[in-house]
Amino acid sequence: MTPEPMLRPPEGRRGTRPTTAETWSDPGRWLTAIVESSDSAVIAESLDGIIMTWNAAASRIFGYTADEAIGMPIFRLAYPEEEESIQIVLDAVRRGERIDNLQTSRRHKDGHRIFVSLNLFPIKDEAGAVVGIAKVATDLTNRKNAEEIEARIRIELLAERKYRDLLHHAPDAILEVDDRGRILIANRAAEKLFGYEHDELFGASIEMLVPEANRPDHANHRAAFVKAGKARPMGYGRDLNAKRKDGSEFPVEISLSPIVMETGVLVVAAIRDVTERRRSELQLRLLQEDYLGELSARQQEAERLNRLKSEFLASVSHELRTPLHTIIGFADLLHEDTDHTLTGRQGRFVENIRRDSEHLLALINDVLDLSHIEAGGLAVHPRELSLSAVFTEVMDALRTTWEEKALNVTASCDPDLQLLADPTRLRQILTNLLSNAIKFTGRGGSVQMRGTKEVGFALIAVEDSGIGIAPEELSNIFSKFYQVGVTTGGVREGTGLGLAICKELVEMHAGTLSVASQPGVGSTFSFAIPLL
Amino acid sequence: MKCLIADDAAHARELLWSILEDMGFDILEAADGEEAIRLAILSLPQVIVLNIGLPKKSGIEVVSTLRRQAPLQKTPIIALIAAAGQYEHTHLSQAGFSRVLVKPVNPAELRAVISEFTC
């Protein structure tokens, strides 16, 4: 029996019996013949599952004639409860997948169950676009143990149901999106989260869930992600928003994972509403700002009090020193006046007044200096200056004291040693050191002030041939109010603050004051100052 | 010859007076910056001794103002400052002072400086 041509040839010519002349030389006729002669059902479906062609084997296996079958939805062949599996299979093939040897059951026209092995693959046009689905079904009912197949199908269904339930009951919203941004899977949590029904989500573009403002960015991100193909969290630490059906927007955190398939990359996204978390973060941030603000306010208050203290010190110093200046001045005048007319005793008395007044003044100056430095109120004003000039000034200022003791005081300085230092403070340091050296060096001894140029800094030293400092005293020597036992004059002079102040002043110039000494031989105080 | 001294403390002025009384000057006294300026302009002294810390107008303001007066541009003006103050000698010379002395000022030294300027 010559089979009736059931394929619709591309030209649209309907089932005409070829003439003997044209028949077997036409490749189209051979194609038709193959299909019709095949033992397996060969069925073409449109993309939405409508049967387009039906061969003889299909009629035999499923029980429908071609006229009955063509135009019918493929779902009519589904055995009860298996409709979803048909849909899944259709979706896969539509995406361009092949399905080989899928053993499953279908429904005969008269209602009984048949077992088949299915091969499905996409039908593509010249451009490669999927235009339909081809299905080749082989009847298994006689060839295999039907019970075996039935059991397996049941297990598969159960497994499928298990995973489906898992997905749909997952606490986080889960979406699967293809590379064109269409939602393929949406679980129950996703429906609830976004306020859509499953049908509204399925097949819709993912952009529907992205607020308009973010859409351009989002499209870029998707493309980049698909390209990178690695699992990644999205929105961590950033402000990522999603949009519900009712238009309201909410902050989300998204984790992404790719499923790489031959036909493209699918993206699985888990989405979490982080409104609460953002609120907590905001609260925390506000709290932090509060604390920082408070901290800043307290700092400012501390600085203000410090300033007040410095101002107080400055005004107090003026009040304390003024009377002393006049006491000392009048003692000087008295000394002048009485040099020749008063007895030696009275002269000594005047001298004592003078000396202790000067001591008191020095003490006040030192205490105020040190307080200033500690309160941070003392600023150094570094300037370019010549070290040799400072040496000369300091030596001249103390000339009477060392000439009195017939000391040999010299200054040696590398030529053109230009420093960056505060002139007043450098003078103060050197005056202190020289004055100490003079105090602790016996008659006829020597003191040398030295300035040598090193790499990047100048090394300044004051060396004396005095009584030296015992090793156990060395560590205390820069402490406040510490005074070494006796000076050469046998008198406790000085304020004990001089070296403490020198140390601070040197440190304010970024240097360190150090001492080397040998009892009975002498001492050397030295420090470094940056070169210009 | 006239000498102007300015200090807000009465005893300080008395001290300066005592130091200078035998030098043959007519000594004028000012207790604040404004009075110092007024007296200087009115009497055109041959030498001025200013304490830096003056009320109403500070020593620096006084010297700046006086230096802008033609007859006082060459007048020796001596500054008296407290030790460990925040005034720098160069800063003071730039302001217009002819010399800076640190308190407590030595009577002999002050006299010597004044003689230096007025002989």
Chains A, B: CB contacts under 8 A, how many?
A: 55
Structural domains present in chain A: 30-145 (3.30.450.20), 169-277 (3.30.450.20), 379-484+493-530 (3.30.565.10)
Q: Which residues of A touch B83 (CB under 8 A)?
A: 361, 365
Q: Which of A378-392, B45-59, B98-112 has the lowest mean pLDDT?
A: A378-392
What does the alpha-carbon distance between residue A181 and residue A217 come to, in Å, rounded to a whole number? 14
Task: Calculate mean pLDDT across residues A218-230.
Answer: 74
What does the alpha-carbon distance between residue A189 and residue A115 come to, in Å, rounded to a whole number? 36
Pairing relationship of beta strands B2-6 and B47-51 according to DSSP bridges: parallel
Q: Which of A176-180, A244-248, A304-308, A366-370 has the lowest mean pLDDT?
A: A366-370
Residue with more model confidence, A376 or A132: A132
Residue B43 placed within a domain: yes
Residue B49 placed within a domain: yes
Closest partner CB to B12 (pick from A326, A336, A368): A326
What does the alpha-carbon distance between residue A280 and residue A278 come to, in Å, rounded to a whole number? 5
Give the pLDDT of residue A11.
44
- Cβ A325–B88 below 8 Å, yes or no? no
Contacts of A88 (CB under 8 A, 6+ apart): none
The tens digit of pLDDT for each residue in A74-108 reads 988 888 877 778 888 888 888 888 999 888 889 99
Q: Which residues of A touch B106 (CB under 8 A)?
A: 332
- Cβ B104–A423 below 8 Å, yes or no? no
Residue B117 placed within a domain: no
Residue B60 placed within a domain: yes
Give the pLDDT of residue A9.
45
Does residue A361 sit at the B interface (CB-CB below 8 Å)?
yes
Q: Which residue of A has its CA nearest to B13?
A: A326
Does residue A383 sit at the B interface (CB-CB below 8 Å)?
yes
Task: Calculate mean pLDDT across residues B97-112.
Answer: 91
Closest partner CB to A329 (pick from B83, B89, B107): B107
Does residue A381 sit at the B interface (CB-CB below 8 Å)?
yes
Q: What is the pTM of this model?
A: 0.47
CATH code where residue B23 lies? 3.40.50.2300
- 3-class SS letters over A282-347: HHHHHHHHHHHHHHHHHHHHHHHHHHHHHHHHHHHHHHHHHHHHHHHHHHHHHHHHHCCCCCHHHH
Q: Does residue A21 carry a pLDDT above 90?
A: no
The tens digit of pLDDT for each residue in A272-305 reads 998 998 899 999 999 999 999 999 999 999 888 8
The tens digit of pLDDT for each residue in A511-524 reads 889 999 999 899 99
Which of A315, A319, A325 should one mutate to test binding to chain B, selecting the residue with the greatest count of B CBs within 10 A? A325
Q: Which residues of A touch B90 (CB under 8 A)?
A: 383, 423
What does the alpha-carbon distance between residue A351 and residue A362 come to, in Å, rounded to a whole number? 16
Task: Calculate mean pLDDT across residues B49-71.
Answer: 92
Residue with more model confidence, A131 or A235: A131
The tens digit of pLDDT for each residue in A231-244 reads 666 655 456 889 99
Q: Which residue of A has its CA nearest to B53?
A: A318
Q: Does residue A485 carry a pLDDT above 70?
A: no
Q: How distant is the Cα of B100 from the closest Cα of chain A, in angstroms?
A: 13
**Token pair of A92 as six digits:** 């896969």
Grade residue A470 by pLDDT with cuts at 50, 70 and 90.
Answer: confident
Give the pLDDT of residue A237.
45
Task: Count helices and strands (H / E) in chain A.
Answer: 15, 18
Does residue A180 sit at the B interface (CB-CB below 8 Å)?
no
The tens digit of pLDDT for each residue in A119-128 reads 999 999 888 8
- Cβ B19–A381 below 8 Å, yes or no? no
Does residue A332 sit at the B interface (CB-CB below 8 Å)?
yes
Grade residue A18 by pLDDT with cuts at 50, 70 and 90.
Answer: low
- Cβ A326–B18 below 8 Å, yes or no? no
Q: How many CB atoms sit inside 10 A of residue B80's CB?
A: 25
Does residue A265 sit at the B interface (CB-CB below 8 Å)?
no
Residue with more model confidence, A1 or A252: A252
Closest partner CB to A326 (pick from B15, B53, B88): B15
Residue with more model confidence, A525 or A370: A525
Give the pLDDT of residue A234.
63
- The type of residue at A74 is I
Most confident of A162-171, A309-318, A488-497, B1-10: B1-10
Give the pLDDT of residue A148.
77
Grade residue A315 by pLDDT with cuts at 50, 70 and 90.
Answer: confident
- Cβ A333–B107 below 8 Å, yes or no? yes
Q: How many domains does chain B have?
A: 1
What is the residue-averaged pLDDT of chain B?
90
The tens digit of pLDDT for each residue in A328-347 reads 999 888 888 776 666 777 88
What is the residue-averaged pLDDT of chain A?
84
Task: Calculate mean pLDDT across residues A7-22.
Answer: 49
Output DSSP code: residue A205. Answer: B
- Cβ B83–A358 below 8 Å, yes or no? no
Task: Calculate mean pLDDT across residues A444-457.
Answer: 90
Residue B37 placed within a domain: yes
Residue where the block lists tokens 């077997």: A24
Q: Which of A71-75, A325-329, A371-375 has the lowest mean pLDDT?
A: A371-375
Q: Does residue B15 carry a pLDDT above 60?
A: yes
Contacts of B51 (CB under 8 A, 6+ apart): B6, B7, B8, B9, B12, B59, B80
Q: Does residue A65 carry a pLDDT above 80?
A: yes
Q: How distant is the Cα of A476 from the closest Cα of chain B, in angstroms?
A: 25
Q: Which of A117, A110, A169 is nearest to A141 (CA)?
A: A117
The domain of B87 spans 2-105
Q: Which of A233-237, A264-268, A352-356, A387-391 has the lowest mean pLDDT?
A: A233-237
Q: Which of A425, A329, A436 is nearest to A382 (CA)?
A: A425
- Cβ B89–A423 below 8 Å, yes or no? yes
ipTM of this complex: 0.89
Give the pLDDT of residue A1.
46
Q: Which of A11-20, A90-99, A149-158, A250-259 has the lowest mean pLDDT?
A: A11-20
For residues A252 and A241, is the Cβ–Cβ distance under 8 A?
Answer: yes
**Token pair of A48 as six digits:** 């939405």
Residue with more model confidence, A158 or A415: A158
Measure CA A423 to chain center. Answer: 47
Residue B114 placed within a domain: no
Grade residue A156 by pLDDT with cuts at 50, 70 and 90.
Answer: confident
Give the pLDDT of residue A23.
64
Q: Give the H or E element holding residue A526.
A: strand A522-530
Q: Does residue B20 carry a pLDDT above 90?
A: yes
B3 phi and psi, to 5 degrees? -130, 130
The tens digit of pLDDT for each residue in A434-448 reads 999 998 898 989 999
Closest partner CB to A365 (pick from B11, B18, B84): B84
Q: Which residues of A touch B104 (CB under 8 A)?
A: 324-325, 328-329, 332, 358, 361
For residues A438 and A398, is the Cβ–Cβ distance under 8 A?
Answer: yes
Dihedral angle, C-alpha A172, A175, A176, A182, nearest 10 °: -170
Does residue B54 sit at the A interface (CB-CB below 8 Å)?
no
Residue B71 placed within a domain: yes
CA distances from residue B13 to A358, B18, B35 in whole angstroms, order as listed: 20, 9, 14
